[in-house]
Structure 1
Amino acid sequence: MKYRVLVVDDDQNIAELIRLYLEKEMYEVRIAYDGKKAMSIFYEWTPDLVILDIMIPQMDGYEVCKHIRKAGNIPIIMLTARGEVIDKVLGLELGADDYIVKPFEPKELLARVKAVLRRTQNSDMIKEEKLVFPGISIDKNDYTVTFKGKRIEMPPKELELLYFLASRPNQVFTREQLLEKVWDYDYIGDSRTVDVHIKRLREKLHDEMGRWEIKTVWGVGYKFEVQR
């Protein structure tokens, strides 16, 4: 299968460099230099993955990310030149699957692209991946979470993190282990990525969780605790 990748960056040199490396790996690539053009290509072409710069004209990367998330679960890797925590956190909260800081090594970008697409491909395999606990069901077949009878909107990475923890009840994982298992590569970066996703999950599932909860194990990491 030849994957389609939409690259959105107003720096033509960077965009063409990304295209060069992706096409060498047999990806089909299209480029947009502003947010409005990116959305036009997105709706016409339906890419399998979007590499999205934050600082782009006409519609910034955050707005583009929000529009893509409303359209579905197409994975997004965000690019940021600043590398500030606030940029990363906001991008993740809006539903980005990953981020990478400029300047970056092309090999690192390729590794992340392959990891994200591999997760997407694996999620499309036909198999029963549904967990049910009191008041909640987590279904990886159609990427839905139902909490107290209501469907909860949740970006793919949040759902995958929730599913991973819930599929191993009462087992404690460090942030580094969660980055490796859920993000699917040896992650060198800010472990705050996990904290942001946990915070968002708790905000959505905060009301009387009852016999289960996403619990912090101080000095270690997190677990999906189920009362025995």
Structure 2
Amino acid sequence: MSSHILLLEDDAELSRLIKGFLMSKGYEITACRSANRAQQLVAQQHFDLLLCDVMLPGESGFDFVAAIRDGFPGPIIFMTAQTQLQHQLHGFSLGAQDYLLKPVDPRLLHAKIQVFLPKEEDTKAAPPAHFKQFNLTLDHQAGVATLAGQALQLTTAELRLLSALLEQYGKVVSREWLFQHQLGRDYDGMDRTMDGRASRLRKKLQTIDPQWTIGTVWGQGYRLIYEAAMQA
């Protein structure tokens, strides 16, 4: 899967431009406008890198990083119009890897990101031949999924969705990523195509083993869950 970047930026137009540019480079981008929302996202999803504005309504980007730094091991890049040396030093003291001054040239930002994250073309290895979680197995080479020893009768689209969820088992796979990589278009916030696909896949799993489900995480995406393991 693509590297997943959280963009914390309250300027809607700048956020749109940065998100669009980085998505064109192959990254998955989740954008938000407040430190509080960013903390929720970091607690719920996996991110490979954080891009943080400093001056925000409510808590600052510095406050956000201070709150999550112990639990987030990945690189952090601050973006701000504040040019004072003490602000930059404070950002580095919080554990940031870099500090960019606005206005940020997207090409420079991309170059900085590539320092900390592998280039997309260098990470596209073939997926493992098999994925297995408990009694659910997916054979990529054969294009077959089995559950409790029974073959699942899946469409190609359902098989691709199951592959993405199984590869990230227990984690939220965002609608944005699924729309970009499986439907070839951006998620507009209204399209229910992926909801229908997830619902049909959920029914097929539960017909064989009701302990399996696909949880819908409101405003984010989907997560594959084996309830028997959660109860153990």
The TM-score normalised by the length of structure 1 is 0.50
Q: Distance in 2 between matches of 1:115 and 1:91?
A: 18
The one-letter code sitting in structure 2 at the alignment partner of 1:63 is D
| Alpha carbons 1:54, 1:61 under 8 Å: kept | yes
Listed one character per residue, the Cα deviations across residues 59-97 of structure 1 (whole Å, up to 9, x for unaligned) are 211111112211131210001112221111000001111
The residue number in structure 2 matching 1:21 is 21
Matches within 5 A, 1:43-54: 43-54=43-54
Matches within 5 A, 1:72-83: 72-83=72-83
| Alpha carbons 1:5, 1:50 under 8 Å: kept | yes
Give the drift of 1:58.
Answer: 2.3
| Alpha carbons 1:80, 1:87 under 8 Å: kept | no
Q: Distance in 2 between matches of 1:36 and 1:58?
A: 8
The one-letter code sitting in structure 1 at the alignment partner of 2:32 is A
The residue number in structure 2 matching 1:208 is none
The gaps in structure 1 that reach 5 residues or longer are 120-228
The residue number in structure 2 matching 1:106 is 106
Matches within 5 A, 1:28-67: 28-67=28-67
| Alpha carbons 2:8, 2:35 under 8 Å: kept | yes
Superposed CA RMSD: 1.7
Matches within 5 A, 1:154-173: none
| Alpha carbons 1:78, 1:99 under 8 Å: kept | yes
Determine if the alignment matches structure 1 residue 87 to structure 2 residue 122: no
| Alpha carbons 2:80, 2:100 under 8 Å: kept | yes
The one-letter code sitting in structure 2 at the alignment partner of 1:27 is Y
> What is the DSSP-based 3-state SS (H/G/I as helix, E as strand, rest coil) of the residue aligned with 2:55?
coil
The residue number in structure 2 matching 1:70 is 70
Q: Distance in 2 between matches of 1:9 and 1:96?
A: 16
Q: Distance in 2 between matches of 1:101 and 1:62?
A: 15
| Alpha carbons 1:22, 1:29 under 8 Å: kept | yes
| Alpha carbons 1:68, 1:74 under 8 Å: kept | no
| Alpha carbons 1:51, 1:78 under 8 Å: kept | yes
The TM-score normalised by the length of structure 2 is 0.50
The one-letter code sitting in structure 2 at the alignment partner of 1:42 is V
The residue number in structure 2 matching 1:97 is 97
Q: Distance in 1 between matches of 2:87 and 2:15?
A: 20
Question: Displaced runs of 4+ in structure 1, greater than 3 A?
Answer: none
> What is the DSSP-based 3-state SS (H/G/I as helix, E as strand, rest coil) of the residue aligned with 2:79?
strand
The one-letter code sitting in structure 1 at the alignment partner of 2:59 is M
